[in-house]
Every structure is written in structure tokens, then in C-alpha cells.
Amino acid sequence: MAKAKVKAAPKKEITDTVDETITREEVKETKTEPEKAPPTPKASNVEKTESFTAAFKNDAHSAVDHFLKHNTDNPEEISREESDAGDAGVRVTLTYK
């Protein structure tokens, strides 16, 4: 039996090479502090409102006084406004800290 000679495939010469390396630009780090949100105020410094409605003006004001006297947080009254509550009577809105 005769052995067949196998010719090796001719070597391809690479004449033009393309560099396919992905590069990234250097990022300059800036040392700036992030913007800080203003601090949350304490609950005792925030103004709150409460509305009391009664058929008569004196009853609405009495309800406000009762609220201020029996509240465990000892609220400080800032303002008190009366308004018409229609058929319900009078509404007194209390603003307090």
C-alpha cells in the first residue's frame, strides 16, 4: 500500500493587523461632596393644624381649649381661626407646635 502524502495547508501571512482591543477613557475622579438634604426638623418644631366643628361658636372654642389642656404633648397655640361650617355650625382651626 502506498502512503499518500498530505500537503500541509499553506500558511497565511497576515499583512494588515487590526487591534480589536476595547479601551476606555480614564475617568477623572472629582472629590466633591454630594449635596446634602436639609435636616428634618424635630416634631416639636413643626406647625400642625387641627379643626373642631360645633353647632355654636362657644362649643367649638371649648373643644379647642379641651384639646390643648388634655394633650400629653403640651402643644403651644400659634393661631386660632373661625370659619363657617355651613349646616354643621362653626369650624375653629387651631395651629399649634
The CA distances from residue 30 to 23, 27, 34, 45, in Å, are: 21, 9, 11, 37
pLDDT per residue rounded down to tens, the chain (97 residues):
566 666 666 666 655 666 677 676 765 666 666 778 888 888 778 889 999 999 999 999 999 999 999 988 888 899 999 999 999 999 999 999 8
As a 3-state breakdown, the chain gives helix, strand, coil percent values, each rounded to 5, of 20, 25, 55
Asked, for residue 75, whether it belongs to a domain, the answer is: yes
Domain around 80:
43-96
Cα–Cα distance between 61 and 86 in angstroms, integer? 17
Asked, for residue 8, whether it belongs to a domain, the answer is: no
The reply to whether the predicted model has a pTM over 0.75 is no
**How many domains would you assign to the chain?**
1
